[in-house]
Structure 1
Amino acid sequence: MTDIREQGLKKPVNVAEYLFRRLHEIGIRSVHGLPGDFNLVALDYIPKAGLKWVGSVNELNAAYAADGYARTKGISAIFTTFGVGELSAINGIAGAFSEHVPVVHIVGCPSTISQRNGMLLHHTLGNGDFNVFANMSSQISCDVARLNKRAEIADQIDHALRECWIRSRPVYIMLPTDMVERKVEGARLDTPIDLTEPANQSEREDYVVDVVLRYLHAAKQPVILVDACAIRHRVLKEVHDLVEKTQLPVFVTPMGKGAINEDHPNYGGVYAGTGSQPAVAERVETADLVLSIGALKSDFNTAGFSYRTSQLNTIDFHSDHCTVRYSEYPGVAMRGVLRKVVERVDLSKLSRPPSPEVVNEVTKNRDSSQTITQAFFWPRIGEYLKENDIVVTETGTSNFGIWETKYPRGVTGITQILWGSIGWSVGAAQGAALAAKDMGVDRRTILFVGDGSFQLTAQEVSTMIRHDLRITIFLIFNGGFTIERFIHGMEAEYNDITRWNYIDVPTAFGGSEKQVRKFVVKTKDELEELLTDTDFNEARGLQFVELWMRKDDAPRALKITAEIAARNNASMSE
């Protein structure tokens, strides 16, 4: 018998089909997650919508992978089950919220009848509260959609996906089991979701542009500083146009690395306060105007809040406001302002100071020993990288070491410096490589991860193998948590880890000799031989490199930041 509420539908489609077709429409091609009895029926609709089910090893890794996928492709989705599944993923979703990454988190939950009756079901807290987990996720989501009322479901889905894209943050969609196959209006699918950003009010935007140009034309030593939210909120075209038009020196923060073509003659390096190279610090800190685009001034992104720039000499461009010196303009988003600045800047009034030269300083940092040092390794990696590589670095030595690596053109840099969840990078690398595969582009994904971090999420190697992804893993074997050692406890037992047979991990997770190539590298000569090997550079599948370094060695920037962090921790405890 036909439900009377469905009789007026022009093109009735199941809720699950509607949801997954919308995901496909906005660019998602793979869905991470794990099955559970509250999402099983919905999972059947994933391939029908042209999507691929990834099948992760646990929900935390799935969330990390969704994060990496979104950073590469633009947006991602993860599907978990109620309670036990979604809470395992919540750390990864929180990281995506913290770092402005758009992830659609779908949760299969008990039926609306079960919820209404407060039934004592598995995966619940036993108190009849079926909103408790959604309420938790509301703190790390920019929209929460509880799909409990059929008449509202299509609107809720469309609104949530638009919010996820526009605001570049996770959304939470709660899909009850009895709503999966209910019908909604499929004719809506003929009209794509409007993902265009709201335009600034014209007069307000023009006023801000005039103010910006007044200060820019008057400056004698202006520079551009690009940070993470320029990437997350998709204004890189405007940033590149600004650099090309003005030819001003341009710098990136650690979280902004990869935003700028580092082969560009105006690229000046990574600015992070006292963690910067001296020439970079001098150039940025003596600027009489800093055009700061998409700033996220966290402790590790600024080397312990060590910026020596003045707000009096700064113009900040953000996704929902602009700040010119000490005047804030709420509701004036950076995209429109940047476009008009590019259009209207008077080059005859513009001063163009030179940029510092940026090179991979391999020879300078190569000593006479065969020991692979952090100082030598990261510049050398800059010569190994190729155009359009995807580079994933883990919280710890890798995140700080990569500051000393000059990227070739088109490299995507993926780091998690603000949230800084240990082990994130392994899942993120899987997601990034899968995104590249889904996009049909031939790109290497290269992961740099310490042995301590790797132990938290090593199972994700099995997903890499399962999907035949092109990933090279450099596992830095240095006996534990190096970043923690430098903050506190160089010889402390709590910073030590158990020695795994790392080189056997890919085999243990099902990788055959045809699927995985494995290497142990202990010396500079062995590293040089590997990095110059044609087969290694061109390999298609998974490669695993166990790279030996000393436990008491760390990148220059990490040592500086760790010292500041230790001081801050001590002062804040008083």
Structure 2
Amino acid sequence: MSSAAALEAEVNRLRLELQTLRATTASEPIEIGNYLLQRLKQLDVKQLFGVPGDFNLGFLDLVEADSAISWVGNCNELNSAYAADGYARVNETRIGAVLTTFVLFDWTFRALADSEDSFGVGELSAMNGIAGAFSEMVPVLHIVGVPSTAAQQAKTLLHHTLGNGRYDAYINAAENVTIAQGIILDAENAAATIDRVLTECMKKARPAYLTLPTNLVYAKIPSDRLKIPLSHAQAPNDPEIEKAALNEIVQLVDRASANDNIVILVDVCAVRHDARAEVNELVKKTGFPVYASPMGKTVVPEDFEGYGGIYVGSISDPVVKAKVESAELILSIGCVKSDFNTGNFTYSIPAGRTIEFHSDHTKIQHAVFPGIGMKALLPRLTALLEPYSASARKITLPAPFVATLPEDTTDTITQAWLWPRVSQFFRPKDVVVAETGTSNFGLIDVPFPADSIFVSQLLWGSIGWATGCTLGAAFAARERGLGRTILFTGDGSIQLTVQELSSMVRHGLTPIIFVLNNNGYEIERCIRGAEAKYNDIMDWEWTSLLKTLGDRDGTKSVSYRVETKAELSRLLDDEVFASAGKIQLVEIVMKMHDAPRALQVQTEMGNKENVYGY
């Protein structure tokens, strides 16, 4: 972001603070519920996910009357949180929004203690999805319809309670999985509360929590604040500190460039904090070889001539591992050092050879520069490093990142064959969603075409997440004019959230859903219990699901079952199938105990550390 844009965002923030201090009735009054909707529309939110309930129906009447925001009724609250997560991931610069019911807190004692008492059925169901969004830095607003302030003050024993007078369980839980909480108690502070929560949600790229009491949904408040836009921009970098950081970086680059031994390593936070464009400009103009972590897959186009593949510590392709770990200087952008993202913490890139760029700080070897964010820093760094591009472009990659079909004369669909084969099916601008497990580990080993988006939940790893996520991802892809939405999931994973296929049918979405039928939880079998019954599941009639879940007359969907390589290849090469004109489900029959290479290595390393017993 330019200095001017950052300055404008800061001015708007101060104007909002001034509005908070200065009460006004000069503007046209607006209902609190509509104020919230106006803010969501200003942030370009077009879908609201959730489940209707006792205490959010009044707000839903406002949503239904607003043509700019569509209500996406989900089958349960957990799925709605997953969908809002997927919507925000694919939209990248927008938040997701989910509505549930309800929470009740002790209004009487709120002024006396820094805590709130609460309970709620709907919000608790959604909390796993919200926690996953928090873990993976996805901005989702969780709106909770709550009883009237009078009922809260009286501490009425309403339905959905635990029945024991303990009302603090769920708000306490929400505080651990949201970056900001807004408890609306009166009309006077409602607008400021909404603005604060939304701003924190956007700036920190984390979920936020907002309550909306029934008696305040239609309460009128001034609309002045709506004239001042909210911004997710970080505070401007301090010019002098930034200059010092840039000087340090350029000196290190200058020394390392003498040996043509610099690489760029990109990760997911570059996207979460709206720095994708800045990262790609750096990569394009400097010409340094670039690699990605598993969570950072598709941050940089994988058809870029300087792109070398996925670096994931000891799990990496040996050629990739050698190139990254031998680099004299590594420019690491937006890194997340979790176990699955680092090959079970086997990154071999010492701090002494690394410069880390983050949203709110920069780390140069062992020195940390607080408050120096990458979005503003990277464009200035790119200009300083562009002169090194001539020599950088002479560096040849040890091996191009390509997918090669194995030489296998059998017709059995194997993991080693499946992922290179489906990579040939992908097109530019596709949105590919992978369930944690065999799908995720298989897909990281193959290249994607230009402008495609890879969506996975490698850190939180909630089983079944990908199906709910696909609903939100498909909405976002349609809004952005992207390509097809394609889901890869396992037969075990999809059973947890399969209901959301009905929402896809209902809203006319047309994802392609590949279900890997290998008779159970293969990732768990790799970890423990290869023959144990606890890793088995009931086999479903997969090709009947879409008809059962909404497409009764069979006009909106098509389902397939493929058991051989030849059958799957014919389907992938079929233009009608590839055009994704309808929602389609493909059951891929595979052998039990067959797993992708990366998953086998990951679980083997993990099993050595997680030994049961003493």
Normalised by the size of structure 2, how large is the TM-score?
A: 0.90
CA contact (8 A) 2:287 2:389 kept: no
**SS of equivalent residue, structure 1 residue 256:** coil
Please state whether the residue corresponding to 1:192 is helix, strand or coil: coil
Structure 1 match to 2:107: none
Name the counterpart of 1:56.
74
- Of 97, 102, 105, 1:77 maps to 97
Tell me the equivalent position of 1:497: 537
Per the TM alignment, residue 351 of structure 1 is displaced from its structure 2 partner at its CA by 5.0
1:429/1:348 CA distance change after superposition, 3 Å: closer
Distance in structure 2 (CA, Å) of the matches to 1:518 and 1:360:
30
- Give the Cα separation in 1 of the matches to 2:544 and 2:222: 52
Say whether the 8 Å CA contact 1:81–1:107 is kept in structure 2: yes
Partner of 1:3: none
- Tell me if 1:104 matches 2:121: no
2:12 corresponding residue in structure 1:
none
Find the residue that maps to 1:420 and give its secondary structure. coil
What does 1:262-281 align with in structure 2 at a 5 Å threshold? 262-281=302-321
Q: Which amino acid aligns with 1:323?
A: K
Match of 1:18 among 20, 35, 42: 35
The separation in 2 between residues aligned to 1:289 and 1:349, in whole angstroms, is 15
Deviations 1:494-528 (A, max 9, x none): 11111111111111101242211111111011111
The DSSP-based 3-state class of the residue aligned with 2:413 is coil
Equivalent runs, 1:88-127 vs 2, <5 Å: 88-126=125-163
Paired with 2:290 and 2:64, the residues of 1 have a C-alpha distance of 44
| 2:17 equivalent in structure 1 | none
Secondary structure of the corresponding residue to residue 509 of structure 2: coil
Matched, 1:553 2:594: yes
- The root-mean-square deviation of aligned C-alpha atoms, in Å, is 1.7
Q: 2:465 aligns with which of 406, 424, 428?
A: 424
Give me the whole-angstrom Cα distance separating, in 1, the residues matched to 2:167 and 2:193.
Answer: 19
Which amino acid in the other structure matches residue 89 of structure 2?
Answer: R
Residue deviations 1:423-480 (CA, integer Å, cap 9, x gap): 00000111100112233x1520000000010111111100110011120000000011
In the alignment, the residues of structure 1 paired with residue 143 and residue 47 of structure 2 have an alpha-carbon distance, to the nearest angstrom, of: 13
SS class of match (1:404): coil
Aligned to 2:341: 301
What SS is found at the alignment partner of 2:315?
Answer: coil
* 1:434 match: 475
CA shift for structure 1 position 216: 1.2
Asked if the contact 2:288/2:389 (under 8 Å) is kept, the reply is no
Is structure 2 residue 186 aligned with structure 1 residue 136? Answer: no
Q: Is residue 2:49 matched to residue 1:32? A: yes
Distance in structure 2 (CA, Å) of the matches to 1:457 and 1:406? 28
The percent identity for this pair of structures is 43
Cα separation, 2, equivalents of 1:123 and 1:204? 53
Q: What corresponds to 1:170 in structure 2?
A: 207
Structure 2 distance, partners of 1:23, 1:128, is 35
Counterpart code for 1:536: F
Q: Does 1:328 align with 2:345?
A: no
Measure the CA separation in 2 of the matches of 1:188 and 1:132: 34
The secondary structure found in structure 2 opposite 1:149 is: coil
1:207 to 222, 235, 244: 244
Shift of 1:9: 5.2
2-side partners of 1:516 and 1:427: how far apart?
Answer: 18
1:514 aligns with 2:514: no
Q: Displacement, 1:306?
A: 1.4
Shift of 1:129: 5.6
Report if the CA contact (8 A) 1:470-1:540 is conserved. yes
Cα distance change of structure 1 residues 168 and 442 upon mapping to structure 2, 3 Å threshold: closer
| Distance in 1, Cα, partners of 2:329 & 2:410 | 44
Asked if the contact 2:100–2:143 (Cα under 8 Å) also holds between the matched residues in 1, the reply is: yes
Q: 1:7 Cα shift?
A: 9.3
Does the CA-based 8 Å contact 2:308-2:401 persist in structure 1?
no
Deviation of residue 76 (structure 1)? 0.8
Aligned ranges for residues 406-485 of structure 1 at < 5 Å?
Answer: 406-439=447-480, 441-485=481-525
Which amino acid is the alignment partner of residue 115 of structure 1?
A: Q
In the alignment, residue 224 of structure 2 is paired with which amino acid? Answer: A
Any unmatched runs of 5+ in structure 1?
Answer: 1-5
Please state if 1:47 is matched with 2:47. no
Aligned-pair CA distance for 1:312:
1.1
Using structure 1 for the length normalisation, give the TM-score: 0.96
Partner Cα distance (1:185, 1:350) in 2: 58
1:118-146 per-residue CA deviation (whole Å, 9 max, x = no partner) reads 11111223355655422211111111000
2-side partners of 1:248 and 1:446: how far apart? 32
